[in-house]
Structure formats: C-alpha cells, structure tokens
Amino acid sequence: MYRLILLDLDGTLLRPDKTISDHTLSVLCKCREKGLLLGISTARGESNAVPFIESVRPDLVISSGGALVRYAGELLFSCALSPEKTAGIIRCAFELTQGQCEITVDTPGAHYWNYKEDPHILYPDWGEVRYTDYQDFHEPALKITVELPDDKAAEKIAMGGDCDFVHFSDGNWYKFSRKEATKAKAIHALAERPGIRPEEIIAFGDDFADMEMLRVCGRGIAMGNALPQVKEIADAVTLSNDEDGVAMYLEKLFL
C-alpha cells in the first residue's frame, strides 16, 4: 500500500538534542531493505540538513518548506521569491521592528543570517551559515524566516510580499515563501515524475507547516509532541520524538 516514508526533521525524526537515535536509523534501514523509499521533508534549507541527509541517505529531499525538491539527486522542483520581493520582505521586516529583528534567508546556494549570537553555538547541528546585514541584499529566496512580535506583523509582510507565511511553534519565528512552496505541493511535484502517488506515502510531522502534508498523504502520523491542531487532523498519533515515535510506528506497521 505504501511506497514512501516521508519524515519531517525537527520535532519529528530528530530528538530534542537534534540527533537521530541508532534505533531509529536501524528501523529506517530495515524499511529500505523491504523496498520502501525514504524521504525527508523539512523547513530547513538543504545546507542545514546535510548531517541528517548523510545519516538517513533518503531517496527524496524536500527542503526549505517545499521550495526545493530533489529525487535520487535530481532537481525536480524549485520555487523561489524574486530578488526584488526578497529585498521588499526584508525591508518591511526591518521597518516593523525598527531594524531589530533577526532574519534568515535560504537561497539556492547558501543560508544567510544576520545573527546576534554565533549560530553554531546556539545550534551545533546547523550547517554552513553566511553572515549578512542585508544591506543591498539581492538574491532569490527559497525561504525567508523572520523573528517577529506577532501574527499581525507577519500578515503585513506577507501582504506586501504577495507570499504565504507560517508561524513556527518554537518561538516567534515566521516563514515566508511563495504560495506554491509548500510541502504538499512538493509532494504533488514528486508524483508527476517518479510516479509516486500521494496515497502511497506515509508522512510524519509535528508542526503547523506539516499539517497540509499529513492531510494530502495516504497516511499522516502526528508525533506525541505535536501541536494539538496537528494531532487533530492526523490519521494516527505515535510516541514523541524523545521516545523514538517514528521508529515505534514503523516497526508495528512494516516490521
């Protein structure tokens, strides 16, 4: 019935300390031996997911919240904001916060951040990060995240940038991207090429950005630590990411 296991990273496959347990990796390996394909679907930019991509060795990688899709190493889908819209979103964010907000930008080739503290101290699992003050920044953006005080500020930015936004549950960070750049739309792009239909996918997630993905796939599984809204729309709920919830569910279903 299922051909692909699709896994969100933070809050789902990754434990709270941002590692993948040996037990989970072993279960994923056994699923692969049974002929199942493995996929990662993350809000992280591709460069910030490298350690986990190397550990899991997925057939599919959906990164930047759905703005970039690779299958078997081949680029299937890319959906970026124009350099002009990127600059406009950054300008609006600074205006609304008196220039005090932190901003990250995923481009097709790098991850930028005007960090106040060294991100590799804050997030040791993070990949390469390039510092910028965003003065004269002119790059296409797969995804922009901004630290904002509330939804109203995010709505103003999205309206001006003609883009969508999602609030991450861990803090005051908001993701901005083109309306076509979602995990669910990435799944439909996948279906057009390798021929994997959404109903043949079992997906795991925990946050707002995962909800549409869980709905569109054949089976959507919420983590025990997932937001109540995610659990409500899921087909089932497994244990938390601190209890190897992904591995426990896959063992019962496939092994």
Digit-coded pLDDT (tens) for 190-243: 777 667 899 999 999 999 989 999 999 999 999 999 999 999 999 999 999 999
Task: Give me the pLDDT at residue 236, please.
Answer: 98
CATH number of 83-177: 3.30.1240.10
pLDDT of residue 26: 97
pLDDT tens digits, one per residue of 92-108: 999 999 999 999 999 98
Look up the CATH number of domain 4-78+181-254.
3.40.50.1000
pTM for the structure as a whole:
0.89
| pLDDT (0 to 100) of residue 242 | 97
Cα distance between residue 83 and residue 8, in whole Å: 28
Mean per-residue pLDDT of the chain: 92
The proportion of the chain whose per-residue pLDDT surpasses 90, expressed as a percent, equals 74
Domain coordinates in residue numbering, the chain: 4-78+181-254, 83-177
* Total residue count of the chain as it appears in this document: 255
Dihedral sign, Cα of residue 42, residue 46, residue 51, residue 57: positive
Output the pLDDT for position 193: 67
Cα torsion through 225, 229, 230, 233, rounded to 10: 140
